[in-house]
């Protein structure tokens, strides 16, 4: 194979589809690749022909210039594909298998992996626990918004779909298993959502909508989604959620109108560090707003699931403290209310098989909930632009035209 088209980051607001090297079973030097990983042999991996590879809000943070991502970085960590080449040391995954790739890269051998903490594997990123494809400070593993990608530790990482024809019939739903569906589900599980719960989800982007669908799957009595974007709030209402327009002010009063009381059992932050204020402050960034608001409206003894992304370096932050990930959090309020907090990457492997079964047996229609929209790989720059403008869609890149024929 001579080449491999992929989406690359060129600087704030700029992406392009370029030709990069076809993947091999050895890590090469390049933008974002940690020098300790250069030359690393990955005969435990496979090469995938990508069937679907999604644009994520986390990618958008980099493309906006809100991280320290280097120019030339190949983007993309939400990957679904067909195995076209198997490494020497792979035992169980076979050529032709159709698989979902967790966005977390995990070795399956370290203490954290063995404890199910695959989001913070100790062996894949020389800088810190945890890694992902095509992401800043995550070890430099080449991203998957491409025609082909190498996936390491294939026997451990890959989720094989049991029947290819059945999987292709539901491929847009299954494409959500690499990240946003497990991430939204994790946010709800860690917030304590269960049968009869009332839950407030901050953010109606794809992760927030996936969290809302997850809350309904978990048996929540009332799911309330808050956002500033009218189209995204309409998308949340399309599958049975109540909504709060935070541009009208603090969500507390609107929650009281829905529930009769100004608080919920469970809170989920699906916004992260680019949060805006409420009411008259909605035009400006206030990165601690969502966390402080959730503490205010979540009942004493409740929990907050925080799948929204927070970073240690934000060159575009509003103040010096926020540039280093330091926010004015009302931790005293959370302490006084005995709240539990869960942050960090979702350990996708903890959930993805069960969520796959829910999809295959029509217990959930996650692609419809997040308005999954396939576009050709060549149109990725347009997808990024429209997503950045607030489109109520989850853009799914179709590198080989296989989604349109599914």
Q: Determine, yes or no, domain membership for 404.
A: no
* Domain shared by 357 and 208, yes or no: no
Q: Determine, yes or no, domain membership for 406.
A: no
Q: Determine, yes or no, domain membership for 250.
A: yes
- Domain of 304, in residue numbers: 180-342
Residue 243's contacts (CB-CB under 8 Å, 6 or more residues apart) are: 204, 224, 225, 226, 227, 233, 236, 237
* Domain shared by 160 and 210, yes or no: no
Q: Report the C-alpha gap between 144 and 16 in whole angstroms.
A: 14
Q: Determine, yes or no, domain membership for 403.
A: no
Contacts 24+ apart (CB under 8 A), 15-22: 15/63, 15/75, 15/380, 15/381, 15/384, 16/381, 17/377, 17/378, 17/380, 17/381, 20/74, 20/142, 20/146, 22/148
Q: Report the C-alpha gap between 288 and 251 in whole angstroms.
A: 15
* Domain shared by 247 and 376, yes or no: no
Residue 338: Cβ within 10 Å count: 10
* Domain shared by 85 and 228, yes or no: no
* Domain shared by 101 and 18, yes or no: yes
Q: Read off the CATH number of the domain in which 293 is found.
A: 3.40.50.720
Q: Determine, yes or no, domain membership for 296.
A: yes
* Domain shared by 136 and 252, yes or no: no
* Domain shared by 65 and 192, yes or no: no
User: Which of 254, 325, 250 lies closest to 295 in space, CA to CA?
Assistant: 250
CA 300 to chain CA centroid, nearest Å: 29
* Domain total of the chain: 2
* Domain shared by 269 and 324, yes or no: yes
* Domain shared by 227 and 250, yes or no: yes
Mean pLDDT within 183-209:
98
- β-sheet bridge partners, residue 269: 202
Cβ-count burial of 48 within 10 angstroms (0-12 exposed, 13-18 middle, 19+ buried)?
buried
* Domain shared by 109 and 165, yes or no: yes
Name the phi and psi angles at 226, rounded to 5.
Answer: -110, 140
Residue 362's contacts (CB-CB under 8 Å, 6 or more residues apart) are: none
* Domain shared by 211 and 159, yes or no: no
pLDDT at 274: 85
pLDDT in tens, 341-365: 999 999 999 999 999 999 999 999 9
For residue 225, the SS3 value is strand
Residue 324 has pLDDT above 90, yes or no: no
Q: Determine, yes or no, domain membership for 405.
A: no
Average pLDDT, the chain: 95
Give the pLDDT band of residue 280 (cuts 50, 70, 90).
confident
Q: Report the C-alpha gap between 298 and 290 in whole angstroms.
A: 12
Q: Report the C-alpha gap between 262 and 250 in whole angstroms.
A: 11
As a 3-state breakdown, the chain gives helix, strand, coil percent values, each rounded to 5, of 30, 25, 45
pLDDT in tens, 114-168: 999 999 999 999 999 999 999 999 999 999 999 999 999 999 999 999 999 999 9
* Domain shared by 282 and 244, yes or no: yes
Q: Determine, yes or no, domain membership for 156.
A: yes
């Amino acid at each position: 194979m001579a080449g491999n088209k992929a989406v690359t980051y060129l600087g704030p607001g700029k992406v392009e589809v370029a030709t990069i090297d076809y993947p091999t079973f050895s890590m090469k030097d390049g933008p974002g690749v940690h020098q300790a990983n250069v030359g690393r042999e990955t005969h435990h991996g496979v090469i995938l022909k990508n069937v679907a590879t999604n644009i994520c809000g986390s990618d958008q943070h980099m493309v906006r210039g809100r991280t320290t991502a280097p120019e030339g970085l190949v983007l993309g960590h939400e990957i679904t594909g067909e195995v076209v080449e198997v490494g020497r040391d792979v035992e169980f995954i076979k050529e032709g298998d159709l698989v979902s790739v967790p966005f977390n890269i995990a070795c399956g051998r370290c203490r954290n992996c063995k404890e199910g903490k695959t989001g913070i594997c100790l062996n894949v990123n020389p800088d810190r626990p945890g890694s992902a494809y095509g992401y800043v400070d995550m070890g430099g593993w080449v991203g998957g918004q491409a025609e082909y990608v190498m996936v390491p530790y294939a026997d451990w990482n890959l989720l094989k779909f049991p029947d290819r024809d059945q999987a292709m019939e539901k491929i847009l739903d299954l494409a959500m298993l690499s990240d946003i569906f497990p991430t939204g589900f994790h946010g709800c599980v860690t917030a304590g959502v269960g049968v009869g719960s009332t839950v407030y989800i901050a953010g109606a982007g794809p992760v927030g909508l996936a969290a809302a669908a997850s809350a309904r799957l978990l048996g929540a009595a009332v799911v309330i989604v808050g956002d500033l974007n009218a189209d995204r709030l309409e998308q949340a209402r399309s599958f049975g959620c109540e909504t709060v327009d935070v541009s009208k002010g603090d969500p507390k009063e609107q929650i009281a109108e829905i529930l009769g009381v100004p608080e919920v059992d469970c809170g989920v932050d699906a916004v992260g560090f680019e949060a805006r204020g409420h009411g008259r402050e909605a035009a400006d960034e206030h990165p601690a707003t969502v966390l402080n608001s959730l503490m205010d409206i979540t009942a004493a003894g409740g929990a907050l699931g925080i799948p929204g992304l927070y970073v240690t370096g934000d060159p575009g932050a509003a103040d010096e403290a926020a540039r280093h990930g330091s926010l004015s959090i009302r931790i005293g309020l959370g302490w006084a209310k005995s709240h539990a907090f869960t942050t960090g990457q979702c350990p996708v492997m903890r959930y993805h098989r069960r969520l796959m079964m829910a999809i295959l047996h029509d217990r959930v229609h996650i692609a419809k909930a997040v308005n999954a929209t396939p576009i050709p790989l060549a149109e990725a720059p347009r997808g990024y632009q429209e997503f950045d403008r607030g489109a109520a869609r989850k853009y799914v890149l179709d590198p080989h035209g296989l989604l349109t024929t599914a």
